[in-house]
């Protein structure tokens, strides 16, 4: 079964709820969309949406790179699945956006050919997990209102963006704890906005924090080694963990006990597995995160996440605030818990 044609597009998508983090405000995204058409008429679908701030290039860069790869891939036989996957890995070493979109499309096409879900192909170890849902940097009243909204929708794992001012961050979280108590589990994302002393102070003056994501700058990697063990246990490394090379370094010493893997950072399922395997071998827990992105790539991240028994945290809310999407399906959401579908491939279909 050969690859007969490939269609590539870039799609602008507005967000229903713009949000602010420590270094930017986001109101829309660009998505790279890849459609691989096989000789029997079946298709494999892939998508990506990358952050230039994190990986050094944007989705338009990936779109331009992807167009140059199309002719190379057309004519390949899908039965040479691993050869194609390896070729994609090698071609796009420095372009996780292109790599992820093609990687996902090939996985989707191949699993559809086999007539099985990607969850079955990868080997599911965890049935389902709740996802956190994110509140951007807002004043306390707005934050409380948004958390109440999410509680009403069944979410009780709340990720709160902080990092502009640690004193205000502490005040805000303590008010939230007083307001909600055990009704919610709080995850913090400082987006590189704190210093070592800020983080220690925040930890000491707050309570009931499930994890703290990337408090220090990527330029201050050695600062993570200075945290006491009790703080390292809840540190989730994000922007410092982009690829497998980073995973090797970060697992060589105790920089933090949680790896946040994003398929949009590393470049798809195969690269995500490499990082996850490294974490597993070094007794590091896994958090699977996302950018604002399509259900298509969220489904890939979910199924990859559930194939590792050291996956403890999901932060896969990236499709919830899209005004439109290019696909539907992928998973069911009930009371904040993501349940992958067992349909062939990624379990998605074009809208």
Dihedral (Cα; 272, 277, 278, 282), 10-degree rounding: 140
Half-sphere exposure of 314 (CA within 13 A, CB side): 29
Do the Cβ atoms of 17 and 30 come closer than 8 Å? no
Same fold, 3-115 and 120-350: no
The pLDDT of residue 47 is above 90 = yes
pLDDT tens-digit map of 318-343: 999 999 999 999 999 999 999 999 99
Are 93 and 60 in contact by the 8 Å Cβ rule? The answer is no
pLDDT at 17 over 90: no
**What's the whole-model pTM score?**
0.96
Over residues 117-138, the mean pLDDT reads 96
What is the domain partition of the chain in residue ranges?
A: 3-115, 120-350
Give yes or no for a contact between 89 and 298, defined as CB atoms under 8 angstroms apart. Answer: no
Residue 338, by phi and psi: left (phi above 0), alpha (psi -120 to 50) or beta? Answer: beta
Residue 56 to residue 203: CA distance in whole angstroms: 31
> For 273-325, what is each residue's pLDDT tens digit?
999 999 999 999 999 999 999 999 999 999 999 999 999 999 999 999 999 99
Is the pLDDT score of 22 beyond 80? Answer: no
Question: What is the pLDDT at residue 306?
Answer: 98
At residue 1 the predicted structure's pLDDT band, cuts being 50, 70 and 90, is: confident
User: Residues for the chain: how many in total?
Assistant: 351
- DSSP letters along 279-339, please? HHHTT-EEEE---S--HHHHHHHHHHHTT-TTEEEE---TTTTBS--SEEESEEEETTEEE
Pairing status of strand 25-38 against strand 3-20? antiparallel
* Cβ proximity of 325 and 293 under 8 Å: no
| Neighbour tally for 289: CB within 10 Å | 26
List alpha helices for the chain, DSSP H.
52-55, 59-73, 81-91, 96-114, 118-122, 140-152, 166-180, 196-205, 229-232, 244-252, 263-266, 269-281, 295-305
The 10s digit of each residue's pLDDT in 251-271 is: 999 999 999 999 999 999 999
pLDDT at residue 110, rounded to an integer: 98
**What was the pLDDT predicted at 24?**
66
CATH class of domain segment(s) 120-350: alpha beta
Q: Which of 222, 219, 255 is nearest to 237 (CA)?
A: 255
pLDDT digits (tens, 9 = 90+) for 169-224: 999 999 999 999 999 999 999 999 999 999 999 999 999 999 999 999 999 999 99
Pick from 113, 36, 125: nearest CA to 303: 125
How confident is the model over 233-262, as a mean pLDDT?
A: 97
Q: Is 124 helix (H, G, I), strand (E, B) or coil?
A: coil
Which backbone phi and psi does 225 adopt, to 5 degrees? -70, -15
pLDDT in tens, 142-167: 999 999 999 999 999 999 999 999 99
Instruction: Say what the pLDDT of residue 23 is.
Output: 63
What pLDDT is stored for residue 26 in this prediction? 80
For 3-115, give the CATH class: alpha beta
Is the per-residue pLDDT at 30 higher than 70?
yes
Give the pairing type, strands 311-314 and 327-329: unpaired
pLDDT (tens digit per residue) in 55-111: 999 999 999 999 999 999 999 999 999 999 999 999 999 999 999 999 999 999 999
């Amino acid at each position: 079964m050969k690859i007969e044609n490939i269609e590539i597009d870039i799609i602008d998508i507005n967000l229903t709820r713009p949000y602010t983090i420590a270094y930017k405000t986001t109101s829309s995204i660009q998505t790279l969309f890849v459609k691989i058409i096989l000789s029997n008429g079946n298709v494999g679908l892939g998508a990506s949406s990358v952050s230039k701030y994190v990986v050094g290039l944007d989705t338009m860069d990936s779109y331009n790179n992807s167009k140059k790869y199309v002719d190379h891939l057309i004519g390949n036989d899908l039965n040479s699945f691993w050869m194609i996957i390896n070729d994609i890995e090698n071609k796009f070493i420095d372009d996780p956006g292109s790599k992820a979109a093609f990687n996902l499309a090939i996985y989707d096409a191949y699993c559809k050919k086999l007539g099985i879900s990607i969850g079955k192909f990868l080997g599911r170890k965890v049935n389902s997990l709740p996802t956190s849902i994110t509140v951007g940097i807002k004043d306390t009243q707005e934050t409380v209102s948004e958390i109440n909204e999410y509680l009403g929708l069944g979410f009780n794992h709340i990720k709160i963006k902080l990092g502009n001012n640690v004193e205000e961050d502490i005040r805000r979280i303590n008010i939230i704890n007083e307001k909600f108590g055990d009704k919610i589990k709080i995850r913090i994302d400082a987006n590189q906005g704190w210093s070592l002393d800020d983080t220690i102070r925040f930890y000491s003056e707050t309570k009931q924090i499930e994890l703290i994501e990337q408090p220090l700058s990527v330029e201050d990697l050695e600062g993570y080694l200075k945290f006491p063990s009790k703080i390292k246990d809840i540190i989730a490394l994000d922007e410092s963990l982009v690829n497998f090379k980073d995973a090797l370094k970060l697992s060589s010493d105790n920089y933090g006990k949680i790896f946040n893997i994003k398929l949009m950072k590393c470049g798809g399922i195969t690269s995500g597995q490499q990082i996850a395997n490294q974490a597993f071998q070094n007794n590091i827990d896994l958090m699977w995160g996302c950018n604002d992105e399509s259900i298509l790539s969220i489904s890939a991240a979910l199924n990859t996440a559930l194939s590792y028994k050291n996956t403890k945290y999901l932060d896969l809310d990236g499709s919830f605030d899209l005004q439109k999407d290019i696909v539907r399906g992928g998973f069911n959401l009930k009371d904040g818990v993501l349940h992958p579908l067992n349909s062939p491939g990624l379990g998605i279909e074009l809208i």
